[in-house]
Amino acid sequence: MLRFSATFLFAATCLLVSTGVSALRVTTCGPHIHRLSCETGVINVQSAIYGRTNADTCSGGKAEGEVANTECSLQDAPDTLKSRCNGKKVCEVDTTVFSADPCSDTFKYVETNYTCVPATHLIACEHSLAHLECDDNQVILVHGADFGRHDKTTCSYGRPDARLQNVRCSNPTSKVADTCNGKNKCTMRASQSVFGDSCEGTCKYLELAYTCQNK
């Protein structure tokens, strides 16, 4: 019995390792923190809902009227989550990131299906250069980039506390993809002159992820 379990476990582990991608799902009821994270690799959002598409999800303790509308979903919610979270190892949002409330009388949830994909994950502190580089016959494919601050510790050495407090400084950018996709090497400067300043007074950093594709 013990031997059977061990063998099974081993086989299951191999399967996970060989595919390298596992599907994950997070459901958050109401306007609370929605957290996606990857232990290995980076986040790649597959699909997402902000609203309600069935009566069961997040229905505990709710009145019938709050869960009756099951045709409510914000159309650009998947794009919002992709631009905010793709390419990161950890991504926390709440419903304030969405462009609108798709059905104000309904008790809503946020649900995201995502995978963790293997990629090179880079962080360049403000005023540093991020060097993206592939082998000779390969080209860069950017999976996401953000110039901002999401915690108090990254790129904090010797910085005044006051400039590390705003951890909701998010500025997803397509500039890295626009500049680097299809190239073999690419350098991006993590600076306000390139990405603009979405949160004045905060020390920022450029977080990005990319893979190398065969030409």
Q: Does 70 bind ligand NAG (CB under 6 A)?
A: no
Length of the chain: 215
Complex with ligand NAG: residue 25 or 183, whichever CB lies closer: 25
For ligand NAG, which stretch binds (CB under 6 A), given 14-22, 43-51, 189-197, 205-213? 43-51
Q: Tokens 């909701």: give the residue.
A: 168
**Pairing, β 129-133 against β 90-93:** unpaired
Work out how close the CB of 70 gets to ligand NAG at its nearest, in angstroms, rounded to a whole number. Answer: 12
Q: What is the H or E stretch that residue 210 is in?
A: strand 205-214
| Contact string (CB under 6 A) for ligand NAG, positions 11-40, x = contact | --------------x---------------
Site for ligand NAG in 83-122 (CB under 6 A): 111, 113
CB 214 within 8 A of CB 141: no
Q: Does 43 bind ligand NAG (CB under 6 A)?
A: no
For ligand NAG, which stretch binds (CB under 6 A), given 12-20, 47-55, 89-97, 197-205? 47-55
- Residue 58 CA to residue 101 CA, distance in Å, equals 17
CA distances from 185 to 88, 141, 181, 205, 206 (A): 21, 11, 9, 20, 17
Work out how close the CB of 123 gets to ligand NAG at its nearest, in angstroms, rounded to a whole number. Answer: 29
Work out how close the CB of 81 gets to ligand NAG at its nearest, in angstroms, rounded to a whole number. Answer: 10
CA atoms within 13 A on the CB side of 194: 24
Q: What are phi and psi of 175, to 5 degrees?
A: -65, -35
Q: Does 47 bind ligand NAG (CB under 6 A)?
A: yes
- Residue 67 CA to residue 35 CA, distance in Å, equals 23
Work out how close the CB of 45 gets to ligand NAG at its nearest, in angstroms, rounded to a whole number. Answer: 10
Size of the site for ligand NAG (CB under 6 A): 6
Q: Does 45 bind ligand NAG (CB under 6 A)?
A: no
Buried b or exposed e, range 190-215, using 16+ CB within 10 angstroms: bbeeebeebbeebbbbbbbbbbbeee
Q: Does 75 bind ligand NAG (CB under 6 A)?
A: no
- Residue 9 CA to residue 140 CA, distance in Å, equals 36
Work out how close the CB of 23 gets to ligand NAG at its nearest, in angstroms, rounded to a whole number. Answer: 7
Q: Quick one: tokens of 2?
A: 């013990």
Work out how close the CB of 53 gets to ligand NAG at its nearest, in angstroms, rounded to a whole number. Answer: 7
Would you tell me which residues interact with ligand NAG (CB under 6 A)? 25, 47-49, 111, 113
